[in-house]
Amino acid sequence: MSNVRISNGSPTLERMAAQQPGHPKPSACRSLFGPVDHDELSRDLQKKRNESHEQDRLRWNFDFERDKPLDGNYKWEAVDFKDVPDFYWRQTRERVSPADCGVDVNGNRAIVYIGTTVAQGNAAGDTYFANSERSDAVKETAERCTDSKEQCSAPRKRTASVDCSPEAKRVTTKAESEWSANSPSLSAFEQTPKKSIPSGHHT
Amino acid sequence: MEHQLLCYEVETIRRAYKDPNLLNDRVLQTMLRTEENCLPSLSYFKCVQKEILPSMRKIVATWMLEVCEEQKCEEEVFPLAMNYLDRYLSIELTKKTHLQLLGATCMFLASKMKETIPLTAEKLCIYTDNSIKPEELLQMELLVLNKLKWDLASVTPHDFIEHFLSKLPVPKDSKQIIRKHAQTFVALCATDVKFISNPPSMIAAGSMAAAVHGLHLGNSNSFLSYQPLTDFLSQIIKCDPDCLRACQEQIESLLETSLRQVQHNSIPSETKTVEDELDLSCTPTDVRDVNL
């Protein structure tokens, strides 16, 4: 650990890319198990993605694709997005336009970008990008679902802020600590939904 | 001649100082408790996979180690990536032709977990000879994350090695070389199927014992001689000394086989003993060569 080398001693991408045609490649550049059938791969990935969508849908009884609550253990109730901290709906710092989709130096941005497109409804609302993008849809949901009596779950698909499941809670805690670490002065603001939602909606 | 500005700033990675609080007993006990949670299933080749054979794991592991070496990744990246790979294969039927994609994805994730400047998706795709595309890698990443339940902070043998070293009564420069050799053994173990089911603490202790043994450090320091060291390490990781001894012997014979392969491939005339070879092969790069 102490004598570790730094990882930026590596050849740059340009240099490696330049080596591609003709020039001898680094020995480690090789395809191990023959050519990859990209259509098949993309079908497989899609299939597995659908499977995990389905699992998430069943687990949370929420249709993440269409942003609609379903029947099940969780009672979903929408709230106005203005009633929750702007953490959940403000434009996020990592917003990347589709034009930007080339992988950047760190490869990080591209992750975020894919996360938005691929993960829509995929990972149980693990991306909050979806939220910011769909505040309209959420409002719409809000109007339709206000009849559910028992208030239980989080404002939206984010299933956060209420103790329905330990995992949801953990997600919140993480998100909040991250948030308050970024701007401690606003940490009071971030507390609001927890207090206000139960008092406002418990009948 | 025009004036030019010379920039002397070198882009280095800033590191935190070693925190002695992370090397205390409480941390060690927690690591021993939690390491079992991140173990892959023992028999996934038989029970889960249809196409993938142990020999293919070896091929992809060797390639991953080469990439990590060439990209000068942190030592932990490779064993961690192998942990992800094994855990994924333990639960998910995978096609042979997608195994390299999985390997690249696991390196991608492990690198992000451990490195300040992680490997990029594009770079990794180049290393597959462009047989996969960055978009595919990113989609696979999400899938792997989902299957691993986003639980990526596995304990690695490297974590234990630091604890062992902090407890050893040896001078600093000896520690340095022991660490290097032990890390080499850890990487070697990660490439071999036989060690899949061994907990990281066992790999670490076995590698450490093999390193000390190979370096003949026991001759000058009685604490490091065979018996006391094995007892000492097995006490730390709370296992039977015989188990540890067996693990160490397995590691040593793995090294021997790997070296024999290399000799077979290159210079068959040379006959060196394992210990002599080990003395020369003090960097992980040599392990890579060993595995070629």
Rounded to whole angstroms, the Cα distance separating B56 from A110 reads 30
State residue B123's pLDDT score.
94
**Does residue A58 fall inside a structural domain?**
yes
**Does residue A165 fall inside a structural domain?**
no
Of A9, A16, A45, the CB nearest to B123: A16
**Does residue B17 fall inside a structural domain?**
no
**Does residue A44 fall inside a structural domain?**
yes
State residue B169's pLDDT score.
86
- Same domain membership, residue B129 and residue B63: yes
Most confident of A48-57, A110-119, A164-173, B215-224: A48-57
Give A174's strand partners. Answer: none
**Does residue B124 fall inside a structural domain?**
yes
Of A3, A5, A35, the CB nearest to B176: A3
State residue A152's pLDDT score.
37
Domain boundary among B127, B148, B169: B148
**Does residue B5 fall inside a structural domain?**
no
**Which chain B residues are within 8 Å of A45, Cβ to Cβ?**
136, 139-140, 143
Taking 60 as the threshold, does the pLDDT of residue A70 lie above it? yes
The first and second tokens of residue A42, run together, are: 């993309």
**Does residue B116 fall inside a structural domain?**
yes
Inter-chain contact B117–A106, Cβ cutoff 8 Å? yes
**Does residue B29 fall inside a structural domain?**
no
Residue A90 or A178, more confident = A90
Among B146, B160, B166, residue whose Cα is nearest residue B79: B160
**Does residue A121 fall inside a structural domain?**
no
Give percent above pLDDT 70 in chain B. Answer: 88
Among B208, B164, B154, residue whose Cα is nearest residue B183: B208
pTM: 0.68
Q: Is B249 on the interface with A (CB under 8 A)?
A: no
Rounded to whole angstroms, the Cα distance separating B58 from B291 reads 9
State residue B158's pLDDT score.
95
Q: Choose the weakest-confidence range: A22-31, A177-186, B233-242.
A: A177-186
Could you list the residue range(s) of the whole structural domain that residue B196 is in? 157-264
- Beta strands (DSSP E) in B94-152 are none
Which B positions 133-172 lie with beta carbon below 8 A of chain A?
133-136, 138-143, 145-146, 150, 158, 162
Taking 50 as the threshold, does the pLDDT of residue B77 lie above it? yes
Select the residue from A41, A53, A105 to test the B interface by mutation, using most B Cβ atoms within 10 A. Answer: A41
Rounded to whole angstroms, the Cα distance separating B258 from B65 reads 15
State residue B89's pLDDT score.
95
Residue B131 or A200, more confident = B131
- Same domain membership, residue B165 and residue B242: yes
| Mean pLDDT of chain B, nearest integer | 86
State residue A28's pLDDT score.
86
- Same domain membership, residue B191 and residue B239: yes
Long-range CB pairs of A36-44, under 8 A, 24+ apart, other chains included: A36/B97, A36/B98, A36/B100, A36/B101, A36/B131, A36/B132, A37/B97, A38/B133, A38/B136, A41/B97, A41/B98, A41/B101, A41/B132, A41/B136, A42/B136, A44/B95, A44/B98
State residue A15's pLDDT score.
35
- Same domain membership, residue B169 and residue B204: yes
Largest CA distance in chain B: 73
State residue B8's pLDDT score.
67
Q: Choose the weakest-confidence range: A87-91, B105-109, B153-157, B275-279.
A: B275-279
How sure is the predictor about A166, in pLDDT bands with cuts at 50, 70 and 90?
very low
User: How many folded domains does chain B comprise?
Assistant: 2
**Does residue B287 fall inside a structural domain?**
no
User: How many folded domains does chain A comprise?
Assistant: 1
Eight-state DSSP code of residue A69 = E
Could you list the residue range(s) of the whole structural domain that residue A46 is in? 38-78
CATH assignment at residue B91: 1.10.472.10
State residue A78's pLDDT score.
83
First to last CA, chain A: 57
Of A4, A10, A37, the CB nearest to B71: A10
Distance from CA of A130 to the nearest CA of B (A): 16
How sure is the predictor about B1, in pLDDT bands with cuts at 50, 70 and 90?
low
Taking 60 as the threshold, does the pLDDT of residue B267 lie above it? no
- Same domain membership, residue B56 and residue B133: yes
State residue B10's pLDDT score.
66
- Same domain membership, residue B190 and residue B133: no
How sure is the predictor about A66, in pLDDT bands with cuts at 50, 70 and 90?
confident
Taking 70 as the threshold, does the pLDDT of residue B270 lie above it? no
CATH assignment at residue A60: 4.10.365.10
Rounded to whole angstroms, the Cα distance separating B26 from B15 reads 24
Task: Find all residues with CB under 8 Å of A177, minimum gap 6, and list them.
Answer: none
Taking 90 as the threshold, does the pLDDT of residue B141 lie above it? yes
Q: Choose the weakest-confidence range: A44-48, A163-167, B238-242.
A: A163-167
Which B positions 51-80 lie with beta carbon below 8 A of chain A?
56, 59-60, 63, 66-67, 70-75
Decide: helix, strand or coil at residue B47: helix
Q: Provide the residue count of chain A.
A: 203
Is this prediction's ipTM beyond 0.85? no
Rounded to whole angstroms, the Cα distance separating B148 from B84 reads 8
Taking 80 as the threshold, does the pLDDT of residue B238 lie above it? yes
Taking 50 as the threshold, does the pLDDT of residue A18 lie above it? no
**Does residue B15 fall inside a structural domain?**
no
B209-225 pLDDT, tens digit each: 999 999 988 877 777 88
A182-192 pLDDT, tens digit each: 433 333 333 33
A1-13 pLDDT, tens digit each: 433 333 333 333 3
State residue B153's pLDDT score.
93
**Does residue A43 fall inside a structural domain?**
yes
Rounded to whole angstroms, the Cα distance separating A138 from A128 reads 13
**Does residue B282 fall inside a structural domain?**
no
Rounded to whole angstroms, the Cα distance separating A67 from A79 reads 14
| Mean pLDDT of chain A, nearest integer | 55
**Does residue A18 fall inside a structural domain?**
no
